[in-house]
DNA sequence: ACCTGAACACCGTTCAAGT
DNA sequence: ACCTGAACACCGTTCAAGT
């Protein structure tokens, strides 16, 4: 019931939730969750370490706001192809692009579900497109969930900053015994290199195609 | 080159890497990464907080060992169905079962790739089965990567402990405006409940089937 | 309303020391 | 070889206080 508006603003400081979230996200992207601290955030904001607590009750609440900000940055309002499968792929690519831009926050995204209307609205867009192609609502939601977890898992493996300290450097492949991993060795020969973009696309298309035949999805003509 | 065996053992203490990893994993499962600390680990081991540093250079190295221990617990030596797609699904189910048993370590699994022979050997089993069904080695590896990231993403969303403090409780669905999320609301009506097992299966089968038709996979008869 | 600063109970890691 | 304990530079959060 406290609904009095803020008609005038004091001098310069005025942190504000949006500014705090943006600064925290930049810090996370630069150095990961482990290196993040509320005290450094205060420093980056040019304020007392404790100033943030006026806007967020604790670090967890701030992280929830960061995750939501990332979800909201996923834009689904642009034009998409007419075909249902291409449209769904386009939405997932949009999500991937935004998530890849925030490597240090990925562990938060993967681990802190945000149950808010903006996030639901994002899922709704994809679910609605699947429903329009003939899926029942419950099946559409299951499919969106599968596609979303796949995208998160891919991006995490691709660019995700490690939780719990820096990761160990990979060992010299030459020390491996080829006889225990023949398929892997065979793939490496010929100068083949792992391409995250191509691999993401392969799995995404496979899952979408699989859903299509499983549920008989098709565009009305 | 230091190959002298440990022929005799002192009295009781003798922590040992295996015991430390097991204890750390139990602590992670019980309370998550945020609640874990090297000092508490020392306490749980009944030793000085610093004793662990004799076996692991730092917390990150210990976490790498924990992740590898989880991967090694995935057993792929049991019998699998003859059909390539059922065999692959069986391997992924084995991975899911083990990962689900360690909710507090999932953020570590998803975020700390372990480049060791035992882990490669695990991937090799699945890749080899796909190759035997007709996939080229490079395609087989891409497929395994997609399936693995999907499984990790699913389990993370399903049971993963939050990184960065406890998560906020979900809001009352009754406060949502049904008009912005009609498909989601439609799915909820009729008492439909989200079933993690069924959803995992749906996405897994869809991806496998999609790979099958994309690469023309089939068992030799 | 918004920010400060001291204080409390913690961290990871280093290092010199014990046995 | 294996473990201890003090010490250092940090944490998140609470709370009384300032403007």
For chain A, counts of helices (H) and of strands (E): 9, 0
Q: What is the pLDDT of residues A50-97, one digit of tens each?
A: 999 999 999 999 999 999 999 999 999 999 999 999 999 999 999 999
For residue B48, say whether its CB is under 7 Å from any atom of strand D: yes
- How does pLDDT run across B131-158, given as a tens digit for each residue? 999 999 999 999 999 999 999 999 999 9
Q: What domains are there in chain A, each with its CATH number?
A: 1-56 (1.10.10), 81-215 (1.10.357.10)
Judge whether residue B64 has pLDDT over 90. Answer: yes
CB pair distance less than 8 Å for B140 and A183: yes
* Residue of chain B minimizing CA distance to A186: B137
Cβ neighbours for B63, distance < 8 A, ≥ 6 positions apart:
A164, A165, B108, B112
pLDDT reading at B69 higher than 80? yes
Question: Are A38 and A44 spatial neighbours (Cβ–Cβ below 8 Å)?
Answer: no
What does the alpha-carbon distance between residue B94 and residue B91 come to, in Å, rounded to a whole number? 5
**Contact present, A118 and A72 (Cβ < 8 Å):** yes
Looking at the predicted structure, is the pLDDT value of residue B203 above 70? yes
Nearest nucleotide relative to B14: CA against C1': D2
Supply B17's token pair. 């890497």
| Res B4 pLDDT > 70 | no
Residue B35 has pLDDT above 90, yes or no: yes
Length of chain B: 221
- What is the spatial distance between Cα B153 and Cα B164, in angstroms, rounded to a whole number? 18
**Rounded Cα–Cα distance for residues B14 and A25 (Å):** 44
Report whether A163 contacts A28 (CB < 8 A): no
Burial, A88: exposed, middle or buried (Cβ in 10 Å; 0-12, 13-18, 19+)? Answer: buried
Q: Quickly give A33 CA vs D6 C1' distance in Å.
A: 30
- How far from chain centre, in Å, is Cα B159? 11
Residue A7: pLDDT band (50, 70, 90) is very low
Taking CA–CA distances from B199, the nearest residue in chain A reads A142
Q: What is the pLDDT of residue B198?
A: 98
Task: Assess whether pLDDT exceeds 50 at residue B189.
Answer: yes
The closest alpha carbon to B172, from B195, B188, B159, belongs to: B188
pTM above 0.75, yes or no: yes
Confidence at residue A192, expressed as pLDDT on a 0 to 100 scale: 82
**Positions of chain C reached by protein Cβ under 7 A:** 1-6, 10-15
pLDDT per residue over A188-217, tens digit each?
887 788 999 999 999 999 999 999 999 999
Q: Is A211 on the interface with B (CB under 8 A)?
A: yes
Chain A, residues 148-187, CB within 8 A of chain B, namely: 148-154, 156-157, 160-168, 170-171, 176-177, 180-184, 186-187
Tell me how far the alpha carbon of residue A132 is from its chain's centroid. 25
Reported residue count of chain A is 221
The arithmetic mean of pLDDT across residues B86-102, rounded, is: 98
CB A210 within 8 A of CB B207: yes
CA separation for the pair B67, B9 (Å, rounded): 28
Nearest CA in chain A to B106: A111
- Tell me, what's the pLDDT at A13? 55
CB-CB neighbours of B148 under 10 Å:
20
How many C-alpha atoms does B13 have within 13 Å on its Cβ side? 7
Residues B188 and B63: their CA atoms lie apart, in Å, by 40
pLDDT value, residue A177: 84
* Residue in B86, B122, B95 with CA at minimum distance from that of residue B217: B86
Strand D lies under 7 A from the Cβ of residue B163: no
């Amino acid at each position: 019931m406290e609904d009095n508006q803020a008609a005038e603003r004091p001098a310069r400081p005025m942190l504000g939730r949006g500014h705090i979230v943006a600064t925290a996200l930049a810090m996370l992207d630069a150095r990961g969750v482990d290196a993040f601290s509320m005290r450094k955030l205060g420093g980056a904001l040019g304020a007392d370490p404790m100033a943030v607590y006026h806007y967020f009750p604790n670090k967890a609440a701030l992280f929830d706001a960061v995750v939501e900000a990332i979800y909201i940055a996923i834009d689904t309002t642009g034009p998409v192809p007419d075909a249902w499968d291409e449209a769904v792929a386009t939405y997932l690519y949009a999500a991937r692009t935004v998530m890849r831009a925030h490597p240090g926050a990925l562990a938060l995204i993967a681990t802190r579900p945000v149950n808010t209307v903006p996030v639901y609205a994002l899922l709704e867009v994809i679910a609605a497109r699947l429903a329009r192609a003939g899926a029942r609502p419950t099946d559409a939601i299951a499919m969106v969930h599968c596609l979303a977890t796949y995208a998160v898992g891919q991006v995490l493996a691709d660019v995700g900053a490690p939780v719990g300290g820096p990761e160990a450097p990979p060992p010299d492949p030459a020390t491996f015994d080829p006889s225990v991993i023949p398929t892997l060795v065979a793939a490496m020969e010929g100068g083949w290199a792992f391409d995250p973009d191509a691999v993401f696309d392969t799995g995404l298309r496979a899952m979408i195609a699989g859903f299509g035949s499983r549920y008989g999805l098709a565009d009305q003509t």
